[in-house]
Amino acid sequence: MKRLRRSILYVPGNNPGMIRDAHIYGSDVILLDLEDSVAMTEKDAARFLVYNALKTLDFGGKEVAVRINGLDTDFGLKDLEAVVRAQPDVIRLPKTDSEQDVIACEKEIERIEAACGIPVGKTKMIAAIESAQGVLNAREIAHASKRLVGIALGAEDFTADLKTTRSADGIELLTARSMIVMAARSAGIDALDTVFSDVNDTEGFIKEAKLIKQLGFDGKSVINPSQIKPLHAVFTPTKDEIEKSLAIVEAMEEARKRGSGVVSMNGKMIDKPVLDRALHLLELAGATNALRSAMQ
């Protein structure tokens, strides 16, 4: 089954206690950060810590990603050299402006994999888009590598680049978000949303989570464990939705037996797109245990 990436928990790469405990909060992905949450003077220590954490800790079966520093910095390549050897599931590339950035990073990963006997292609990638140029190149970026499992929006740098600020309703991010979702869908990979920084504003967070789910995103980055549960709640299908989807699948199965591709249910036409949506919802429900509780 496809891996869920509803929540990506940011963990500063220089905080051993937080790295050790990151898996207990139930996020789908743990993102060990070597980039913006680590001070310049801590970069080497964080790299060393993340390498050893990946080698020794049990992350409870979670997908583990590492955000490296950009390859245009003094740290990016060093990060890759260390981290790829420790075999995280995913490398997250920051500030991706073009497909060239992805290709360059992939080349380095491939070289390191080959050098240390890791099957080439094992390390997956997520590209974070954090500039106007990146958004405009989103489609090319999304298609740039087979390693990519998702593209993500980084809103802080993006809004700065746009010469605006983040607002409560996120109107300034609307175009970028939509373009990223479309680019991701065209490449068949995940669309991942940016962080919501006000940890105390649970209501605002849920509102934003509902918005990005409606836009088509698969998940969102979180900076505090308290945001994981409400986020998952937004992404968990309701009992009604599950029952409706089960009915649709059943009706289509009946129709298929009769040799028809279309069926009417409660006066509404059901065709392939409706069926696909129902199947996707059931897949999500299955992965979140919501299916089990709905069946009880």
Residues within the interface to another protein (CB under 8 A): 17, 20-21, 24-25, 57-58, 224-226, 289
Q: Sort strands 268-270 and 7-12 into parallel, antiparallel or unpaired.
A: unpaired
Least distance (Å) between residue 25 CB and another protein? 6
Least distance (Å) between residue 125 CB and another protein? 29
Nearer to another protein, 7 or 131 (CB): 7
Nearer to another protein, 16 or 216 (CB): 16
Q: Sort strands 90-93 and 63-67 into parallel, antiparallel or unpaired.
A: parallel
Among positive and negative, which fits the CA dihedral 98, 102, 104, 105?
positive
| Nearest in space to 67 (alpha carbons), one of 39, 100, 91 | 91
| Nearest in space to 88 (alpha carbons), one of 126, 61, 123 | 123
Nearer to another protein, 75 or 196 (CB): 196
Least distance (Å) between residue 4 CB and another protein? 18
Measured distance CA(107)–CA(99) in Å, rounded:
12
Q: Please state the length of the chain.
A: 296
Which region holds residue 237: left if phi is over 0, alpha if psi is between -120 and 50, else beta? beta
Nearer to another protein, 57 or 132 (CB): 57
Least distance (Å) between residue 48 CB and another protein? 17
Written as six digits, the tokens of 76 are 């990016």
Nearer to another protein, 73 or 224 (CB): 224
Least distance (Å) between residue 177 CB and another protein? 27
